[in-house]
Amino acid sequence: MINIKNVSKHFQEKTANKKISIEVKPNEIFGILGPNGAGKTTLIRQVLGFIKPDSGEILINNVNPWNNSKKLMLDVGYLAGEIATYDFMTGREFIDFNIKFKQNTNKEFLQDLIDYFDFEPSLKTKIKRMSKGTKQKVSIIVATMNKPKFLILDEPTSGLDPVMQDKFNKLILKLKKEGTTVLLCSHMFAEVIKLCERACFIKDGTIIREIATDSLSVESLEKDFLALYSTKELI
């Protein structure tokens, strides 16, 4: 379970998050929706223990991520919106480097992921020479190769073609079935509808609405999003 209770974060004169409360149930996929700059990534970084909240509390299975980030990383997978890789490494070197921090990685499952995402031909390729989609694939593999108990995803399918997006969605549903709890930030309405049971809209660092997605269509979710965030018309 992920519990976010009245979390606020300020940067100089800007409020990034304001009294945000979310409870992600075990084995649930919970979506966070909002435009760029709404406060989604700041919230994600606090959940991961990268940033300390100014107030409020975050618990992952009753463990505070700020005080226990190293311990939690053994059970947490993370895919950042801005891909951070080591360009001088090959795909294989980058995977092996991350295994050092995820010693509970199942080598058989790792190979299944490599095959599933057609990444075998890129294992010997330097990351700096990979396309954005290929970099995204190796980042997904690294984030999920230890079958994490908790998976934090920030725009995970950016750069993937439709076939790979579908493969990614099926992987996340498989992990959920096997016990993974997922927090997902996404601009892809179809992705949110397919994966999430619940989602919330965040605006100016504040949650303005929480919804159940099981009875929504992609069109209705998009309509709600535009109604909440569109403020100006082109003259």
**Residues linked to residue 182 through DSSP beta bridges, in sequence order:** 29, 151
Which of the listed residues 72, 95, 118 is the one where a domain comes to its end? 72
Q: If pLDDT is split at 50, 70 and 90, which confidence band does 37 have?
A: confident
Structure-model confidence comparison of residues 186 and 117, the more confident one: 117
Give the span between the Cα atoms of 80 and 38, in whole angstroms.
Answer: 16
Alpha-carbon torsion 72, 73, 74, 79, what sign? positive
pLDDT tens by residue, 168-201: 999 999 999 999 999 999 888 999 999 999 999 9
How many percent of the chain have pLDDT more than 70?
A: 97
Q: What is the pTM of this model?
A: 0.90
171 assigned to some structural domain: yes
Give the span between the Cα atoms of 17 and 185, in whole angstroms.
Answer: 15
Q: Are residues 46 and 104 in the same domain?
A: no
Which of the listed residues 27, 47, 72 is the one where a domain comes to its end? 72
pLDDT tens by residue, 133-158: 999 999 999 999 999 999 999 988 88
Domain boundaries, position 215: 188-230
- Encoded tokens for 32: 């966070």
